[in-house]
Structure 1
Amino acid sequence: MHDTGTAIKTAPAPDQEEQRTERPEEQPSKHARRFGLPIATCLVMGNIIGGGIFLLPASVAPFGTISLVAFGVLTLGAIALALVFGRLAQRDPRTGGPYVYAREAFGDFAGFLAAWSYWATAWVSNAALAVAAVGYLDVLIPVGDHKWTACLAALVLQLLPALANFAGTRYVGAVQVVATVLKFLPLILVAVGGLFFFDSANLGPFQASDDSPVGAISASAAILLFSYLGVESAAVSAGEVRDPRRNVGRATILGTLGAALVYLLGTIAVFGTVAHDKLVGSTAPFSDAVNVMFGGSWGGTAVACAAVVSILGALNGWTLLSAQTPYAAAKDGLFPPAFARKRRGVPTMGVLVTVVLASLLTVYNYTAGSSGVFESLVLITTFTATVPYLLATAAQIYFLVSGQGERVNRARLVRDGVLAGIACGFSMWLVAGSGYAAVYQGVLFLFAGVLVHAWMAARKERTATH
């Protein structure tokens, strides 16, 4: 990870890259600050860990403790994907991540598909996170009694991280560090504290379902698969990271390992402190674990606070990422030029459009009065999120097989090839876990993007010829 090797011939030198991409609106200011390793790591960890962790133990409990095996396998796949993103960021440390790698390897169309898919994933996910946060907020402040009160709360929860983004990268980084620490501490408290109250009798059967072992692992993995979305966060924001060739890879690995530690230890602690028959039907497994460990009934309030902070941190990071990919694509003429403008280090148009679209989707969710359509959209984004992953890992395989002027020893080549293969398999597993309906509808959404690409490509060609 720390051996940078020799960059390919097409990769620009760092000083050349800064000269090529620097724009007047990107001049340094006291509100714009590049992320160091700690903040970049918090960005990765904060985006991976949203609100889902607080329900995960109950979600996989029906399969038994065999679900921990699935968690371990998925963790290895996520780490392989993180290592691949680290290597790709060493090759080309520009803002945009998967978009940059796909476009460099396969051209404008592949790059556009990566940007289009990732952008849609980000703003739809923001709406989903805000709606989920309202459920936790209702434990602290009764906002769920009326749908429009809940809707207003969801809109405010989206607006607060957007304001931090508009204030500049300096504030985005500060919010991300604070939110990550605040949500990491209670989760670690449960994970470590649970060791002192661990009772193997609570674990229940190793395999609680009627499926075969392979079937049980696959079924529980389908629930857990999307827990690691966000490993690419540092790579997408590489242009805002100090010394990105060195720090992006490190932040990606450290953030992924930190999230994996929280996931695995937290799930094991809950499994060992809450009786299996109660855990299967639990709607607040971490609250139940806190109440077992410390007594009383304040666990729900404590976990609700941690969940709201966790989701706000995720919203803060995903809002930035939702603007970074369109920004990179806009600089290459593949998105409208307004997305290429920056203020205080943040692509403000991308943030604004994300907030507007996510807010409209949130209002529609409460207006429709049914979660069916909204849940379908969220499932589609779990598929669209894998498109940039597949294109990025395919780009890494392309770079390795074609050579691209990279001078590496045979051991390094074999290692990178194996990692790329594992990461590609992990991405394919994510696609399979999305379900047939999500894949079908997601492909239709990608086809709609083809029309947008046709319009932007024609516009770019017309501009070049005049």
Structure 2
Amino acid sequence: MTTRAPQNRHARRFGLPVATALVMGNIIGGGIFLLPASVAPFGTISLVAFAILTAGAIALALVFGRLAERHPRTGGPYVYAREAFGDFAGFLAAWSYWITTWVSNAALAVAAVGYLDVLIPVQHSTAATIAAALLLQWLPALANLAGTRYVGAVQVVSTVLKFVPLLLVAVGGLFFFDTANLGPFQAGDHSAAGAVSASAAILLFSYLGVESAAVSAGEVKDPARNVGRATILGTAAAAGIYLLGTLSVFGTVAHDELVGSTAPFSDAVDSMFGGSWGGTVVALAALVSMVGALNGWTLLSAQTPYAAAKDGLFPKVFATKRRGVPTVGVLVTVILASLLTVYNYTAGSQRVFEVLVLVTTFTATVPYLLATAAQIHHLLSGRPDRVDGRRLVRDAVLAAAAFGFSMWLVAGSGYAAVYQGVLFLFAGVLVYAWMSARRNRAAETEESGTCAQSYSTSSVAGR
């Protein structure tokens, strides 16, 4: 008699609705709660950047959908780059994506401190601010170390609460809209093109997660069909909330006040209803949402080196799991994010959030560029599985647009962000050299053992 293994009730492949919710939920993290103030110095021209960014994100979504048709496996850009260009390109994609996740955690913690200050004044000194930011990073890390059960519980609550303040401001703010609050269309010393490019580079942080369905393709039902659709639907829905929310904040908070705001959504609700109760409620919901985002991104940042370690591209220690969580990845991630947070607060930067966001903009574009290059490589390789000429032209245009869009974002990140991002990237080259040398030694040892065994066998056979 054959005994069937019990089915894991916690494992289930999800269809289009859940895949769409995954994309939308990962895109709408915590950055949006501070981004209206971050782009306000550029003027309302930043809304143009939102529209361009949405179009570029959808182009990326379509490219990811095409790539998922050929490689319907978990990993997303990492898988695509490795399949097209080999281990080194795959490593760069994984390394850059990993950097993006833990630098994003540092940025989210900085944004969360601004809303925590609405509830409990913590920004009266640099030491108190740093302590609050570190606490907001370590609490989600401890939830991760406790196991996936607790990670899931935090995510359910935070996902529900994150939509409340966004919808309140996005929809309700239109009834209190005052054009006098908008300020200049183009502010600062930037040219029109420079302002659009720079604000788009900051806004990209709010679109991180567009690749979620592609990264999780192995868990999606019919990924060849559903990954692309889920990515487009989730991106478009998130973009609608973002655009309405930012427009409402621009129209309800005076421009001069918005430029210096650390909690723009709270300020918008205070302006809409008067007093401070509304802003307090929004600050509380935003804080819970950001802690939830930190909770999810902490796990994601640990899973990326875990996947690469399973393929031998990251140190083996990252491939260990306890209670369903890659514990080493969680610890390394939170330590690095904490060090980066302390550095940026003590380095004298007055706009810590923007600095961190721009670094993630650069590092996020590396796997995006490699993925779109993989698509272009496939299209130019003359594979016989492509017989539809119209689709070939359409895919080529989309891939070229997505690649150009990613390059444009790199340019908009600014010299400082590219400088820091390149340092992070080049540090990974040393890690790859170490891992490559270890693999070569292991292969030589295995080959020597095999040859010795073959010689011994042939000697015995010849007697």
TM-score by length of 2: 0.83
Write the mapping of 1:212-223 to structure 2, written as runs, cut at 5 A: 212-223=191-202
Write the letter of the residue equivalent to 2:269: V
Alpha-carbon contact 1:95-1:325 (below 8 Å) kept: no
The alpha-carbon deviation at position 344 of structure 1 amounts to 5.3
Would you say 1:381 and 2:360 are equivalent positions? yes
Would you say 1:274 and 2:253 are equivalent positions? yes
The residue that corresponds to 1:19 in the other structure is none
Correspondence for 1:464 among 422, 443, 459: 443
Alpha-carbon contact 1:44-1:256 (below 8 Å) kept: yes
Relative to structure 2, which stretch is displaced further, 72-81 or 116-125?
Answer: 116-125
2: distance between equivalents of 1:283 and 1:377? 15
The alpha-carbon deviation at position 435 of structure 1 amounts to 1.1
The alpha-carbon deviation at position 371 of structure 1 amounts to 4.6
Write the mapping of 1:236-385 to structure 2, written as runs, cut at 5 A: 236-343=215-322, 345-362=324-341, 368=346, 370-371=348-349, 379-385=358-364
2: distance between equivalents of 1:402 and 1:87? 15
Alpha-carbon contact 2:99-2:424 (below 8 Å) kept: no
The residue that corresponds to 2:36 in the other structure is 57
2: distance between equivalents of 1:374 and 1:419? 34
Correspondence for 2:52 among 70, 73, 92: 73
2: distance between equivalents of 1:102 and 1:301? 45
The residue that corresponds to 2:433 in the other structure is 454
Q: Deviations over 1:297-342 (max 9, x none)?
A: 2233123113212212221221222122212221221112232334
1: distance between equivalents of 2:152 and 2:287? 18
Would you say 1:110 and 2:85 are equivalent positions? no
1: distance between equivalents of 2:344 and 2:188? 34
Alpha-carbon contact 2:36-2:246 (below 8 Å) kept: yes
1: distance between equivalents of 2:284 and 2:186? 33
2: distance between equivalents of 1:191 and 1:173? 27
2: distance between equivalents of 1:232 and 1:404? 25
Write the letter of the residue equivalent to 1:252: T
Query: Do the aligned partners of residues 372 and 144 (structure 1) sit closer, same or farther apart at CA in structure 2, a change above 3 Å counting?
Result: closer
The residue that corresponds to 1:13 in the other structure is none
Alpha-carbon contact 1:34-1:169 (below 8 Å) kept: no
Alpha-carbon contact 2:31-2:205 (below 8 Å) kept: no
The alpha-carbon deviation at position 213 of structure 1 amounts to 3.9
Q: Deviations over 1:53-89 (max 9, x none)?
A: 2333333334443322221111100111122122222
Query: Do the aligned partners of residues 153 and 200 (structure 1) sit closer, same or farther apart at CA in structure 2, a change above 3 Å counting?
Result: closer
Partner SS, residue 385 of structure 1: helix
Write the mapping of 1:65-144 to structure 2, written as runs, cut at 5 A: 65-144=44-123
1: distance between equivalents of 2:339 and 2:183? 44
Would you say 1:433 and 2:432 are equivalent positions? no
Alpha-carbon contact 2:148-2:324 (below 8 Å) kept: yes
1: distance between equivalents of 2:320 and 2:19? 22
2: distance between equivalents of 1:151 and 1:211? 32
Query: Which segments of 5 or more consecutive residues in structure 2 lack a partner in the other structure?
Result: 1-5, 447-463
Alpha-carbon contact 2:205-2:357 (below 8 Å) kept: no
The residue that corresponds to 1:444 in the other structure is 423
Alpha-carbon contact 1:133-1:154 (below 8 Å) kept: yes
Alpha-carbon contact 1:61-1:280 (below 8 Å) kept: yes
Partner SS, residue 174 of structure 2: helix
1: distance between equivalents of 2:251 and 2:404? 32
The alpha-carbon deviation at position 243 of structure 1 amounts to 4.6
Would you say 1:421 and 2:395 are equivalent positions? no
Query: Do the aligned partners of residues 206 and 128 (structure 1) sit closer, same or farther apart at CA in structure 2, a change above 3 Å counting?
Result: closer
Write the letter of the residue equivalent to 2:378: F
1: distance between equivalents of 2:181 and 2:242? 19
2: distance between equivalents of 1:295 and 1:131? 27
Write the letter of the residue equivalent to 2:406: S
Query: Do the aligned partners of residues 208 and 372 (structure 1) sit closer, same or farther apart at CA in structure 2, a change above 3 Å counting?
Result: closer
Q: Deviations over 1:367-397 (max 9, x none)?
A: x474589776664333222111110111111
The residue that corresponds to 2:207 in the other structure is 228
2: distance between equivalents of 1:369 and 1:112? 31
Write the letter of the residue equivalent to 2:235: T
Alpha-carbon contact 1:180-1:313 (below 8 Å) kept: yes
Write the letter of the residue equivalent to 1:70: A
Query: Do the aligned partners of residues 162 and 276 (structure 1) sit closer, same or farther apart at CA in structure 2, a change above 3 Å counting?
Result: closer
Alpha-carbon contact 1:48-1:314 (below 8 Å) kept: no
Relative to structure 2, which stretch is displaced further, 456-465 or 378-387?
Answer: 378-387
Alpha-carbon contact 2:306-2:319 (below 8 Å) kept: yes
Relative to structure 2, which stretch is displaced further, 256-265 or 143-152?
Answer: 143-152
Alpha-carbon contact 1:342-1:348 (below 8 Å) kept: yes
The alpha-carbon deviation at position 177 of structure 1 amounts to 4.2
2: distance between equivalents of 1:238 and 1:128? 27
Alpha-carbon contact 1:31-1:168 (below 8 Å) kept: no
The alpha-carbon deviation at position 202 of structure 1 amounts to 3.8
Partner SS, residue 296 of structure 1: coil
2: distance between equivalents of 1:157 and 1:400? 45
Write the letter of the residue equivalent to 2:304: T
2: distance between equivalents of 1:373 and 1:287? 19
The residue that corresponds to 2:3 in the other structure is none
Write the letter of the residue equivalent to 2:362: F
Alpha-carbon contact 2:122-2:128 (below 8 Å) kept: yes
The residue that corresponds to 1:5 in the other structure is none
2: distance between equivalents of 1:179 and 1:437? 33
Relative to structure 2, which stretch is displaced further, 241-250 or 226-235?
Answer: 241-250
TM-score by length of 1: 0.83
User: CA RMSD, aligned part only?
Assistant: 3.1
Determine which structure has more spread, i.e. the larger CA radius of gyration.
2
2: distance between equivalents of 1:30 and 1:159? 30
Partner SS, residue 49 of structure 2: helix
Write the letter of the residue equivalent to 1:415: R
Query: Do the aligned partners of residues 167 and 274 (structure 1) sit closer, same or farther apart at CA in structure 2, a change above 3 Å counting?
Result: same
